[in-house]
Structure 1
Amino acid sequence: MGLILLVEDEPGAVALMRRYIESSSFEHKLAVFAKAAEALLYAVKNKVDLFILDIQLLDYRGTELARQLRSMPEYRFTPILFTTELAGEELSAYREIKCYDFLVKPFTEAEFQRTFQAALEMGAQMQAAPEILRIEQKQFLFEYEIRNILYIESFGKRLFIHTAQSGGSEVTDQISGYSLLKLLDMVPQNRLLQCHKSFLVNPVHIYKIDKANRLLYLEGCKTAVPIGEKYQKAVFERGQP
């Protein structure tokens, strides 16, 4: 049985969403909290499959709770749905925190069910075995979860692979004997995106595109990645968060 964590401080909204969830999913347990701090403690002790967070909570904001959850390795890719009454704020949260989707109150049962079921399906897909990039270097074999790769830089005959680690840190490995084109052929289609003759990026980590200066900004990465003129059309179409 999977676990859904609902963080909502309005009893009426809790009752409504509980009814919607119970009518659509018999395979999930629902845990409800009114305060973000209590919900975070519960998430630390239990494996949650889907978060539904109100942006305005009693103690602190749901967006801050989402950031705390995203800093935990086990919840970096867990679907998060936001509910809010504030027009515009849900879009900011969506882009900054990479929630799965949002619901603006008041929403209908049909709207809830459509978004809720899609999030469950996405969560189930994310639970599948991670895709691995394997690179041989002399007598060593390096393995990288593709979802953790931030970007790959080509410099002369060397490649630098930048990956996101638990706790928000970044690790860089140097490899030789591979080209960017070869790496693109080694990963499933569309997992990595070439944005420059010397750079590949992981589109799932893009949170901002500076079109004027042709720069990409990635979650958990202090370095802005350049966009080459040859690649900008593909990047703007594919990478826009």
Structure 2
Amino acid sequence: MARILILEDENTSRTALKKMLQNISAEITVDAAADLAKARLLLGSTVSFDLFFLDVNLEPEKDGDTSGIRFAEEIRSMRQYEFTPLVMITSVAGLEMEAYRRLHCYQYVVKPYVQSEVEEIVRKVLFHLHAGMRPSIMVKRNGVNYKIFCDEIMFCRAIPRGVCLQLKNEQIEVPYLSIHKLLEKLPEGMFFQCHRTFVVNRSAVKYYDLVNQVIQVEGSSEWIDIGVTFKPEVRRILYGEKQK
């Protein structure tokens, strides 16, 4: 899966670009913003973006407007997006080359959009994304977004008004996130729910006892309960792993 953010003030151009991107692959999710306020809300949310398409001039009635470049600078100031591909959208080729180099932009495109050009850019980004992909999730804590690699998560436990992520070397409490919402973020097949309050990384399981209904993971002495309603699915998953 890949997620793309478009910042484009012109409704017709924004709609056309969004449709082009969605037609490339069913694995692409596109979020589109018409102004900086909406774009900043998306950037500050818990989702993570793999590619940005940013219109340089968001207020064409203002001479020399480069608000799209300012937003690109905001993106680059965030640690998780230091090297994320940026594609700048412009009406005049070469006009913003200095900013293009300074912000390490991946490429720029000139309006009107050409399907083949957009598709080539996205396919190259997707290729590199999948080639070096390490699954991760974004969680928000104390107003700050954190990127957590999924192979670092041993198990997760529901706590009052949130969840606790047990990582290899630390615990992180994430408020206002339910087990159900957490499962939606995690890669399919990498984790399983064994109890209404527990989710376990299947590769971290060290020991399990279906009679006493407990699981233990690597690096932890804590016993994780297996709920009665989850027992058949846990048996299928873990017994199947044992047979491989």
When the two structures are superposed, what TM-score results if normalisation uses the length of structure 1?
A: 0.49
Instruction: From the CA coordinates, give the structure whose radius of gyration is larger.
Output: 2
When the two structures are superposed, what TM-score results if normalisation uses the length of structure 2?
A: 0.48
